[in-house]
C-alpha cells in the first residue's frame, strides 16, 4: 500500500498549506515548552518551603497528574469530533457538539471534585498508606485546594481544544502563557509574601486555572468564530452525541490513565535501587520530557489537521499530512535529542548531582539520543493521527498491552532476574517504543484506521 495517492489530492485546494501549518504548530510548541519550564520553576519554588512541603506536593501531584490525563483525554475527544464537524462543514452540529462536550466535562469534573472532597484524608491514606503526620497535613491542605480547580482545568482544556480544532492555536497559547505567569507570580506572593506554604502554591494554581476558564469561555461567546458556546443554562443532554464523544474520550482516558499507572509501577521499582539510581532516573525523566516536547506538539496539531481532513472526506490528504508532519516531528526530535545531550553534563553539574548518578544519567540520555529519533515518532506521534480519525480503541488496546508487557513487565523482569539495575528500566522503555512503532506503522499502512469517521 502506498503512503498516499498523489492523484487523489487536489493540490491547489489543500486544507492546510505550509504557512497555515506553521501557525498551527508553532504556538503549540511554545505552549508545551513554557508549561514544562514553568512546571520546573513551580517545583523549585515549593521546594524552598521545606522537605515536608515538597513531599506533600509530590504525593498529591501523583493524583493530580492522573486526573489531568483524564481531562486531557476529554480535550482530545473534543478536538477530534469538532475538527471532523468543521471539515464536513456542519456548523450547527459542530456548535451543538461543543455544547455537549462542555456539559459532559463539567459533570465529570464536578463529580470527581465532590468525591475527592468527601474522601479527604481517608482517600489520601488509602492511596499513600502511612506517611509522617506533617507530610499528611500538608498533603491534605494542598489536595483540598487543588481539587477545587478540577472543573476549571477540565473546562479550560475543552475550551482550548475547540480553538485548536478550528486551527486557531495562537489564542489558547496566549492564555496559557498569562496563566503560567499568574501561577508563578501567585507562588511568589502567597509562599514568600503571605507565608502560606503549600496552601499558597495550591491557591496560585487554582487562580491560574480559573483565569484560563473565564477568559476562554468569555471569548467562545463571541459570534463569528468557527465554534461558539453560549447560553450554558439552555444546554440539555443529547445522549447519542454524548456517547459519540465518550466513545473517543473513554478509550483515550483509559490509555492515558494506564500509562500513568505504569509509570508509577516503574517508579516503585526504581525506588528500591537506592538514591543514586533514583536521582539518575529523576533527572533522565526530565531530559526525556524535554526532548519530546517538539514531537508531542506536532502530534497535538496533527489531530486538528487529520480530523478536518477526515470530516471533509479527504482521506488521501489525511495520509499525506500524517507522513509530512511525522517527517517534521522526526527531524525536530533528532535536533531536540542532540541539544538535550549537549546540555546534560552541564545541567547535572549545576544540579549538584553525585558523580556516579550524573554519569549514569548521561549514559541513559546518550542511549536515548540514538534510539528515540529512530522510533519515537512512529510510537507516539503517529497514533495522534490515527486517533483523530476515530481509531481510538485500537490505540488503547495496543498502547496498554505494550506498556505493561514491555515497559513494566520486561523492565521489572530484567531487574529481578538479571539485576541489570536502572538500565533494565530503560531497556524495557526502549523495547516499548520499538514495538509501538512497528505496530502503529503497520496499522497506518493497512488503512483500517480510515474507517472510523465520527461526524
pTM: 0.85
- Give the Cα separation of 354 and 33 in Å (integer): 27
Q: What angle do CA 365, 371, 301 make, to 5 degrees?
A: 95
Total Cβ atoms within 10 A of residue 1: 9
| Cβ 212 vs Cβ 176: under 8 Å | yes
Domain ranges of the chain: 1-14+250-455, 48-237
Residue scoring higher pLDDT (157 or 130): 157
**What angle separates helix 422-446 from helix 411-418, to the nearest 10 degrees?**
150
Q: What is the predicted pLDDT for the residue at 383?
A: 93
- Give the Cα separation of 288 and 364 in Å (integer): 10
Residue % of the chain over a pLDDT of 70: 97
Does the pLDDT value for residue 267 go beyond 80?
Answer: no
Does the pLDDT value for residue 47 go beyond 70?
Answer: no
For the residues 167-187, what does the mean pLDDT come to? 92
Does the pLDDT value for residue 258 go beyond 90?
Answer: no
| Cβ 399 vs Cβ 368: under 8 Å | no
- Give the Cα separation of 152 and 210 in Å (integer): 5
Does the pLDDT value for residue 36 go beyond 90?
Answer: no
- For 224, 241, 268, 301, the CA distances from 305, given in Å and listed in that order, are 21, 22, 38, 7
Q: What is the predicted pLDDT for the residue at 204?
A: 94
| Cβ 60 vs Cβ 235: under 8 Å | no
| Nearest alpha-carbon partner for 396 in 242, 259, 244 | 259
* Residue that is written with C-alpha cell 506533600 in the block: 56
* DSSP SS3 for 390: coil
- Give the Cα separation of 30 and 277 in Å (integer): 32
Q: What is the predicted pLDDT for the residue at 282?
A: 77
Q: What is the predicted pLDDT for the residue at 245?
A: 79
Indicate if the alpha-carbon torsion angle 440, 446, 452, 453 is positive or negative: positive
Q: Give the number of residues written for the chain.
A: 455
Q: Could you tell me which residues come within 8 angstroms of residue 453 by beta carbon, excluding any fewer than 6 positions away?
A: 84, 310, 311, 313, 389, 390
Does the pLDDT value for residue 1 go beyond 60?
Answer: no
Confidence of residue 89 (pLDDT cuts 50, 70, 90): confident
Phi-psi bin for 172: left (phi > 0), alpha (psi -120 to 50), beta?
alpha
**Three state DSSP letters for 408-437:** HHHHHHHHHHHCCCHHHHHHHHHHHHHHHH
Confidence of residue 49 (pLDDT cuts 50, 70, 90): confident
* Residue that is written with C-alpha cell 465520527 in the block: 454
- Give the Cα separation of 193 and 200 in Å (integer): 10
Amino acid at each position: 500500500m502506498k503512503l498516499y495517492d498523489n492523484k487523489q489530492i487536489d493540490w491547489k485546494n489543500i486544507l492546510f498549506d505550509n504557512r497555515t501549518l506553521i501557525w498551527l504548530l508553532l504556538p503549540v510548541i511554545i505552549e508545551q515548552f513554557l508549561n514544562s519550564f514553568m512546571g520546573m520553576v513551580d517545583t523549585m519554588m515549593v521546594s524552598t518551603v521545606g522537605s515536608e512541603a515538597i513531599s506533600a506536593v509530590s504525593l498529591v501531584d501523583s493524583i493530580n497528574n492522573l486526573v489531568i490525563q483524564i481531562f486531557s483525554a476529554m480535550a482530545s475527544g473534543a478536538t477530534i469530533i469538532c475538527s471532523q464537524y468543521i471539515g464536513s462543514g456542519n456548523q450547527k452540529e459542530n456548535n451543538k457538539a461543543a455544547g455537549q462536550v462542555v456539559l459532559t466535562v463539567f459533570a465529570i469534573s464536578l463529580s470527581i471534585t465532590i468525591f475527592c472532597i468527601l474522601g479527604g484524608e481517608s482517600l489520601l491514606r488509602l492511596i499513600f498508606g502511612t506517611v509522617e503526620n506533617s507530610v499528611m497535613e500538608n498533603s491534605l491542605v494542598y489536595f483540598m485546594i487543588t481539587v477545587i480547580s478540577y472543573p476549571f482545568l477540565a473546562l479550560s482544556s475543552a475550551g482550548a481544544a475547540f480553538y485548536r480544532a478550528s486551527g486557531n492555536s495562537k489564542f489558547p497559547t496566549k492564555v496559557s502563557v498569562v496563566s503560567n505567569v499568574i501561577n508563578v507570580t501567585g507562588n511568589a506572593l502567597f509562599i514568600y509574601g503571605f507565608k502560606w506554604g503549600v496552601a499558597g502554591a495550591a491557591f496560585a494554581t487554582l487562580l491560574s486555572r480559573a483565569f484560563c476558564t473565564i477568559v476562554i469561555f468569555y471569548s467562545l461567546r463571541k459570534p463569528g468564530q468557527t465554534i461558539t458556546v453560549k447560553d450554558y443554562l439552555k444546554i440539555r443532554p443529547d445522549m447519542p452525541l454524548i456517547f459519540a464523544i465518550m466513545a473517543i474520550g473513554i478509550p483515550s482516558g483509559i490509555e492515558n490513565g494506564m500509562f500513568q499507572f505504569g509509570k508509577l509501577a516503574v517508579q516503585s521499582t526504581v525506588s528500591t535501587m537506592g538514591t543514586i539510581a533514583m536521582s539518575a532516573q529523576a533527572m533522565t525523566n526530565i531530559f526525556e520530557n524535554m526532548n519530546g516536547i517538539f514531537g508531542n506538539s506536532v502530534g497535538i496539531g496533527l489531530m486538528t489537521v487529520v480530523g478536518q481532513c477526515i470530516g471533509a472526506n479527504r482521506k488521501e490528504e489525511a495520509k499525506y499530512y500524517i507522513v509530512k508532519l511525522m517527517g517534521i516531528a522526526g527531524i525536530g526530535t533528532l535536533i531536540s535529542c542532540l541539544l538535550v545531550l549537549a546540555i546534560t553534563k552541564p545541567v547535572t553539574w549545576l544540579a549538584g548531582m553525585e558523580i556516579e548518578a550524573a554519569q549514569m544519567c548521561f549514559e541513559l540520555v546518550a542511549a536515548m539520543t540514538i534510539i528515540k529519533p529512530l522510533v519515537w515518532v512512529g510510537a507516539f506521534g503517529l497514533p495522534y493521527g490515527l486517533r483523530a480519525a476515530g481509531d481510538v480503541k485500537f490505540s488503547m488496546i495496543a498502547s496498554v498491552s505494550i506498556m505493561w508487557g514491555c515497559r513494566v513487565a520486561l523492565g521489572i523482569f530484567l531487574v529481578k532476574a538479571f539485576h541489570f539495575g536502572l538500565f533494565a528500566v530503560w531497556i524495557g522503555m526502549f523495547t516499548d517504543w520499538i514495538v509501538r512503532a512497528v505496530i502503529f506503522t503497520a496499522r497506518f499502512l493497512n488503512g483500517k484506521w480510515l474507517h472510523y469517521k465520527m461526524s
